[in-house]
């Protein structure tokens, strides 16, 4: 299956050598994991030698016009609590995650419920490059060059029923692969949700890659949501389940601290987190701070969805 997939979306010039090296390394890693040989933990880049080749045009409509944050920062300064709560824990521990083969269970109010192989849910022939701002609730930000597909394209494929109003997402929760699950810091599995119109918005994106390569595990391999007008925690990683519901789904952060993290979590400089201001942010790699923009600068594309809502109540 790996080889078949690579024919479709790996750069052809280097396919023979890089695929061979890649597969050998994968086998080595699988062996090391089985043997519990943590000493052989690979570098943070080991899982992502394969190049993704977006065939669709770059979506310049969303381009923030800022240079991407260095790859090393995006892949080594992470939040992925299943691998530890420190910013460098995911890069160190996420090699334990096995991102292939991968399947996603689709259920709830859809006409095409099934457990889909990743390749059947995501059209790897229609990948797009999208550079997005990411604004974390902890008041730092990055510019990230993703590779992926619009979430709407996956929703169309699974055919939401007329009664569906929300989309719920769930992350893998496997203690063998995720050492952080031993601690009850969040309600596992990590869950998130969007209102259906938010999920259908042009900006809502499912990423399979970063900087033109496969997603590193610590960034949510093999499939992760990206919702750039919301705080980073809405962008759930390593998705194993997508459910359509008629009621607002519970989310891990809302369960853990309802006063601090609401369902909407739109980036909003006017609504402070109870313990700190959201007026400014620190761009990773820069000194000083910049002003945070309403909806993280994507208001033109998303503000209409919240017309008439009190965003200080619906935070």
Ligand X SMILES: Nc1nc2c(c(=O)[nH]1)N[C@H]1C(S)=C(S)[C@@H](COP(=O)(O)O)O[C@H]1N2
Q: Which residues bind ligand X (CB under 6 A)?
A: 78-82, 134, 136, 171, 190, 219, 232-233, 235-237
Q: How far is the CB of 234 from Mo ion (least distance, A)?
A: 9
Least Å distance, CB 43 to Mo ion, is: 24
The yes or no reply on residue 80 touching Mo ion (CB under 5 A) is no
Residue 148 binds which one of Mo ion, ligand X, none, with CB within 5 to 8 A depending on kind? none
For the CB of residue 5, give the shortest distance to ligand X in the complex, in Å.
Answer: 22
Number of residues counted as binding Mo ion (CB under 5 A)? 5
User: Which DSSP state fits 294?
Assistant: G
Nearer to Mo ion, 59 or 191 (CB): 191
Quick note: the x/- pattern for Mo ion over 83-122, rule CB under 5 A, is: ----------------------------------------
281 binds, among ligand X, Mo ion, none (CB under 5 to 8 A by kind): none
Q: Considering only the stretches 75-83, 93-101, 149-157, 292-300, report the one whose residues sit in contact with Mo ion under the rule CB under 5 A.
A: 75-83
Q: Where are the alpha helices (DSSP H) in 221-281?
A: 252-256
136 or 267: CB nearest Mo ion: 136
- Say how far apart CA 95 and CA 217 lie, in whole Å: 7
Q: Which of residues 134 and 167 has its CB atom nearest to ligand X in the complex?
A: 134
Name which of 297, 259, 257 is nearest 281 in CA terms.
297
Residue 128 to residue 77: CA distance in whole angstroms: 24
Query: Which residue intervals of the chain are DSSP H helices?
Result: 2-9, 15-35, 71-76, 89-93, 118-121, 151-158, 196-200, 252-256, 299-302
Closest CA to 229 of 253, 201, 250, 206: 201
Q: Decide if residue 267 touches Mo ion (CB under 5 A).
A: no
b vs e for 118-128, b when ≥16 Cβ sit within 10 Å of the residue's Cβ?
A: bbebbebeebb
Q: Is 79 in the site for Mo ion (CB under 5 A)?
A: yes
Please report the sign of the dihedral spanned by the C-alpha atoms of residue 222, residue 9, residue 59, residue 68: positive
């Amino acid at each position: 299956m790996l080889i078949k997939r690579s024919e479709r979306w790996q750069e052809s010039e280097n396919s023979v050598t890089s695929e061979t090296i890649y597969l050998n390394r994968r086998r080595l890693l699988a062996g090391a994991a089985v043997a519990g040989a943590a000493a052989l933990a690979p570098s943070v880049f080991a899982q992502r030698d394969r190049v993704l080749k977006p065939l669709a045009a770059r979506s310049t409509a969303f381009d923030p016009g800022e240079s991407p944050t260095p790859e090393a920062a995006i892949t080594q300064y992470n939040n992925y609590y299943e691998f530890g709560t420190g910013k460098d824990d995911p890069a160190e521990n996420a090699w334990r995650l096995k991102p292939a083969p991968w399947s996603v269970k689709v259920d709830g109010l859809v006409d095409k419920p099934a457990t889909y192989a990743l390749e059947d849910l995501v059209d790897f022939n229609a990948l797009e490059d999208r550079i997005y701002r990411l604004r974390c609730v902890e008041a730092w930000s990055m510019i990230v060059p993703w590779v992926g597909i619009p979430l709407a394209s996956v929703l169309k494929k699974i055919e939401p029923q007329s009664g569906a109003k929300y989309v719920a997402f769930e992350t893998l929760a496997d203690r063998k692969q995720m050492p952080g699950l031993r601690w009850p810091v969040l309600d596992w599995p990590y869950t998130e949700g969007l209102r259906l119109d938010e999920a259908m918005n042009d900006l809502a994106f499912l990423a399979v890659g970063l900087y033109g390569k496969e997603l590193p595990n610590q960034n949510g391999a093999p499939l992760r949501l990206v919702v750039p007008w919301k705080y980073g925690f809405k962008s759930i990683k390593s998705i194993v389940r997508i459910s359509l519901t008629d009621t607002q789904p519970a989310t891990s952060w809302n369960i853990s601290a309802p006063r601090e993290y609401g369902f909407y979590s739109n980036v909003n400089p006017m609504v402070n987190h109870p313990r700190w201001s959201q007026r400014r942010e620190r761009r990773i790699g820069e000194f000083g701070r910049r002003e945070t923009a309403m909806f993280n600068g994507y208001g033109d594309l998303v503000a209409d969805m919240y017309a008439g809502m009190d965003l200080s109540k619906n935070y």
